[in-house]
Amino acid sequence: MDAKGAPLPTPPSPNPSSGSASGAIDAPKPMLAFHFLRALSRVHAGPARRRTRTISRAAYSSMARAAGPRRAWSRALLRQAQARRSTTLASRRAAVLVRRRVAAGPAPPLALPRLTGRSSGSSGETSAARAPLLPPPPPAPRQAGEPARSDALRRLVPGGAGMEYCSLLEETADYVRCLRAQVQLMQGLADLFSCQ
């Protein structure tokens, strides 16, 4: 974990070959640690209310940031986080809609009956649904031979609703790897903090 010692103002560029054992490109652990620790320090400096929720959200956003925009799930998570941040400044109604959406967890929003309007630009402050809407999920499995169980998977993996079955499997694998690394990181931190 040498990359963590570098006192750079900008995070070190992710090096895909730096540590993943599986042969596939994965979010390297120093990047994960950097983003999460930074988020944690912000949480610590902030208000003490609802910290658990803030920390768990920070976990997912830092996971997405470490993975970068090349993955659909990380892009979906970053979009959700952005929508959350921006609607705290917007109208009350929009904030309620977004809160309801993200309260469902990291899963992408399905076609809720309350979603109104589609904002085309990314800078509309007062439109009700600022976050880009995902295409409505297909009522039946997309491809022949795709099992019905894949719908549950689509709900669990962020951004999974609009994907092809093949991409869904790839994204799931990457998501599981990163999620596992995030859990390991948090576990290590908890152990570190609890043995002072």
Partner 1 sequence: MSGRRSRGSVSEEEINELISKLQSLLPTARRRGGSSSSSSQASTAKMLKETCSYIKTLNREVEDLSDRLTDLMATMDQNSPAAEIIRSLLR
| Binding residues for partner 1 (CB under 8 A) | 4-5, 7, 34, 37-38, 40-41, 43-44, 48, 51-53, 55-56, 59-60, 105-106, 143, 145, 147-150, 152-153, 156-157, 164-167, 169-170, 172-173, 175-177, 179-180, 182-183, 186-187, 189-190, 192-194, 196
- Our CB check for partner 1 shows the closer of 80 and 150 to be 150
Least distance from partner 1 to the Cβ atom of residue 69, Å: 16
Least distance from partner 1 to the Cβ atom of residue 179, Å: 5
| Angle in degrees, 0-180, between the axes of helices 72-87 and 165-194, rounded to the nearest 10 | 60
- Our CB check for partner 1 shows the closer of 10 and 123 to be 10
- Our CB check for partner 1 shows the closer of 111 and 169 to be 169
Determine the Cα–Cα distance for residues 183 and 29; give it in Å rounded to an integer: 11
Phi-psi region of 190 (alpha: psi -120 to 50; beta: other; left: phi over 0): alpha
Q: For residue 37, which of 16, 19, 13, 11 has the smallest C-alpha distance?
A: 11
Least distance from partner 1 to the Cβ atom of residue 189, Å: 6
- Our CB check for partner 1 shows the closer of 83 and 107 to be 107
> Would you call 143 helix, strand, or coil by DSSP?
coil
Q: How many helices (H) and strands (E) in the chain?
A: 6, 0
Least distance from partner 1 to the Cβ atom of residue 196, Å: 5
Residue 164: enclosing H or E segment and its boundaries?
none
Least distance from partner 1 to the Cβ atom of residue 82, Å: 20
Least distance from partner 1 to the Cβ atom of residue 185, Å: 9
φ, ψ dihedrals at 44, nearest 5°: -65, -35
Q: For residue 153, which of 83, 88, 73 has the smallest C-alpha distance?
A: 73
Longest dimension (CA), the chain: 56
- Our CB check for partner 1 shows the closer of 17 and 144 to be 144
- Our CB check for partner 1 shows the closer of 111 and 166 to be 166
